[in-house]
Copies of this chain bind each other. A is one copy, B any other.
Amino acid sequence: MKTLADIGEDALIELLVKNLKLDHSVIAGPGDDCAVVLAPQKGQHLLLKTDTVVEGVHFTPETPGRWIGRKAMSRVISDFAAMAAKPCHALITLIAPPQTPVKRVLDVYVGLRAVAEEFGVNLVGGETSRGDQLIITVSLTGTAAAKSWVARNRARAGDDLYVTGQLGGSIRGKHLRFKPRLAEAHWLAAHWPVRAMMDISDGLAKDLPRLARSCGLGFEVAMDQLPCTRGSSSQQAWSDGEDYELLLAVSPRKSAQACEQWRQAFPKVPLTHIGRLVNSKDAKQALPGGWEHFKS
């Protein structure tokens, strides 16, 4: 089986960018020092995010390449969902050992490209280097109307907390196969007075305190109301990482009516009230758990 060392960098890149579908916004795609794209339209902001998946951390040597690619692209699109923004242009950084089979890298790109196409993202460039582990980093730019994107830090005490989908046990497969909640996020931002939103990547136990802290608030969560994935406990729903569901804080006034509309728009995706934001001094002690990148 041919390896990266057999074919070299230029031939690899040629394979990776072959038949790339690019829309009219791309003026110069792969092949120059930088990619060149149309700037966002008047009244829009530009959004930027990078995210990385590392062999042995986010996937294993046994994970099929296309699932690695799907995960790498889906994770960063999930961040654009969290801001209710539109992802547009991606750069891929591929780090791989020279003995990596070419087929494995091509499989990763099948996954990257499938998700990119599904969500209207153009792959406009990237970078390759050798390294000891397979690592894929996706840098994504996108747009949002200047007045419509949703920050993480603008919730108020008393706001209701909701999560989409079910939490916990993603290690059994969802961490590879999840679909970013982009349509759901746009719907929520359009129909609800969503005051703060983020995606749950390190587990509710890590991410909810982050959201509350960035608003200068504390929180209360009803552990017995957490929507658990089948086979997962409340504790797992609380502390497992990689759910890639949305966590949002909503003005409590209109939430009942909007919940009914949600059920009609997304009948298969639960939207669950899990607690509320409170003033810091009223907050109960946070429960332990969640994913920590450097601590073991």
Task: List residues of chain A with CB under 8 Å of any chain B CB.
Answer: 4-5, 7-10, 12, 27-28, 31-42, 44-52, 54, 56-58, 79-80, 82-83, 85, 89, 91-93, 95-96, 98, 124-133, 135, 137, 139, 141-144, 149, 151-153, 198-199, 210, 214, 292-296
Contacts and interface: CB of A to CB of B under 8 A. Distances in A.
Given A33-B49, A34-B82, A46-B141, 13 more contacts: A7-B294, A9-B293, A32-B153, A37-B45, A39-B41, A39-B46, A50-B92, A54-B130, A54-B131, A57-B130, A93-B93, A95-B135, A130-B294
A125 B214 CA distance: 15
Contacts of A125: 48-50
B33 A79 contact: yes
Contacts of A49: 33-35, 91, 125
A92 B137 CA distance: 11
Nearest to A78: B33
A39 B198 CA distance: 23
Contacts of A9: 292-295
B131 A133 contact: yes
B294 A33 contact: no
A242 B80 CA distance: 35
A8 B95 contact: no
A23 to B, nearest CB: 14
18 contacts: A31-B153, A32-B151, A32-B198, A33-B82, A34-B79, A35-B47, A37-B45, A37-B47, A39-B45, A39-B143, A48-B125, A48-B141, A52-B95, A52-B129, A96-B294, A98-B294, A98-B295, A137-B139
Contacts of A4: 294
Given A132-B132, A132-B133, A139-B91, A124 B48 contact: yes
A292 to B, nearest CB: 6
- 9 nearest A-B pairs in the assembled complex, by CB-CB distance: A139-B139, A33-B82, A39-B40, A4-B294, A33-B79, A34-B49, A50-B91, A34-B47, A9-B293
Nearest to A98: B294
B34 A293 contact: no
A124 B142 CA distance: 14
B44 A293 contact: no
Contacts of A152: 31-33
A34 B80 contact: yes
Nearest to A12: B294
A286 B34 CA distance: 25
B34 A83 contact: yes
Contact of A46 (B12, B46, B293): B46
A129 to B, nearest CB: 5
Contacts of A131: 54, 56-57, 133, 135
Contacts of A95: 52, 54, 135
